[in-house]
């Protein structure tokens, strides 16, 4: 069995007043650079992209390319509510040296398959020299990428894959059945790292591994080992996922414990309580 590829979903650091903490963001990127993971997914949901200005996104992208771009894949998310903004972000990513980008579906207002196809077709036309990933996240955007739509999107010249969040593995399997063989599929479900190969997916985009990469690297290495090794690796992945829970505030608490940076969130995310903070401390000590 081929070892799954792990992309780290990178958080963004903020000062207590909500302003962008570029130094803290660089510290997070430096931590990720030592993870051993194959790539980074920058300015996605975990990066609180929706709360950053275009200019701030440019600063984060430049830092990511400078710190990560020379030794790991960097996928820059260029999603926005309008294709007008998306086109600005595509050019911004290209100027920073990105070669792989991702684009979430339109969000907030409902969009038909025809409208989403037009949205991606317009963005794709601006992607000369770039590989484009479809970012499907219906629970956050309100707009689902049907299997039929994914088949149409896979025909666009620069679309090479998709990142699919909070969908069952059966949906990735359905996508696999209608896309070309070389089309790359990644789940956003961290704990499914050892299950993705069975549905024809290449790996995971993992926010939890942004703070605790070790159990995920162990799991990737165990993909072609015996059942006992896989079960032990899965147990550690499950513990990390149970405690960090894909929660951005918990990730940032873990960064404090690790000594990476002392940072907060910009979006309205509740900070962990005392009991959860202690659980994070214990888990970080065991799994880091």
| The three-state (H, E, C) secondary structure of 40-97, written as one string | EEECCCCCCHHHCCHHHHHHHHHHHHHHHCCCCEEEEECCCCCHHHHHHHHHHHHHCC
Fold observed for domain 5-212 = TIM Barrel (3.20.20)
Phi-psi region of 39 (alpha: psi -120 to 50; beta: other; left: phi over 0): beta
Is 187 within 8 Å of 175 (Cβ atoms)? no
pTM: 0.97
Q: Which position has the token pair 């961290």?
A: 190
pLDDT, one tens digit per residue, over 36-69 is: 999 999 999 999 999 999 999 999 999 999 999 9
pLDDT confidence of residue 2: 84
pLDDT, one tens digit per residue, over 153-176 is: 999 999 999 999 999 999 999 999
What residue ranges do the domains of the chain occupy? 5-212
Is 204 within 8 Å of 192 (Cβ atoms)? yes
User: Stretch 84-105: mean pLDDT, rounded?
Assistant: 98
In 3D space, the residue among 115, 108, 152, 110 whose CA is nearest the CA of residue 134 turns out to be 152
Helices 227-244 and 274-287: crossing angle in degrees, nearest 10, is 150
Q: Is 273 exposed, middle or buried (0-12, 13-18, 19+ CB in 10 A)?
A: exposed
In 3D space, the residue among 229, 280, 206 whose CA is nearest the CA of residue 45 turns out to be 206
Structure tokens at 120: 């991606």
pLDDT, one tens digit per residue, over 99-133 is: 999 999 999 999 999 999 999 999 999 999 999 99
User: Stretch 187-208: mean pLDDT, rounded?
Assistant: 98
Name the DSSP letter for residue 5.
E
CA dihedral 272, 138, 45, 91 (to 10 degrees): -170
pLDDT confidence of residue 242: 98
């Amino acid at each position: 069995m081929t070892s799954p590829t792990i992309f780290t979903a990178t958080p963004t650091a903020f000062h207590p007043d909500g302003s962008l903490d570029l130094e803290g963001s660089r510290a997070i990127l430096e931590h990720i650079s030592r993870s051993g993971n194959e790539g980074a997914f920058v300015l996605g949901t975990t990066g609180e992209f929706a709360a950053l200005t275009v200019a701030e996104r440019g600063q984060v992208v430049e830092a990511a390319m400078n710190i990560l771009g020379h030794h790991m894949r960097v996928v820059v998310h260029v999603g926005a509510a309008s294709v007008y903004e998306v086109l600005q972000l595509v050019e911004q990513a290209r100027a920073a040296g990105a070669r792989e980008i991702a684009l979430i579906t339109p969000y907030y207002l409902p969009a038909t398959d025809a409208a989403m196809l037009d949205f991606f077709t317009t963005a794709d036309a601006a992607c000369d020299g770039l590989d484009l990933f479809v970012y499907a996240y219906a629970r956050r955007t309100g707009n689902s990428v049907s299997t039929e739509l994914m088949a149409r999107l896979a025909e666009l010249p620069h679309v090479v894959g998709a990142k699919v969040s909070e969908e069952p593995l059966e949906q990735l399997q359905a996508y696999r059945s209608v896309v070309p063989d070389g089309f790359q599929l990644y789940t956003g479900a961290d704990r499914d790292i050892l299950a993705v190969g069975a549905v024809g997916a290449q790996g995971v985009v993992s926010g939890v591994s942004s703070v605790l990469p070790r159990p995920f690297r162990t799991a990737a290495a165990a993909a072609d080992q015996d059942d006992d090794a896989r079960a032990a690796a899965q147990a550690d992945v499950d513990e990390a996922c149970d405690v960090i829970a894909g929660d951005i505030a918990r990730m940032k608490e873990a960064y404090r414990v690790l000594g990476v940076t002392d940072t907060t969130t910009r979006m309205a995310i509740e900070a962990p309580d005392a009991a959860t903070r202690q659980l994070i401390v214990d888990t970080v000590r065991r799994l880091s």
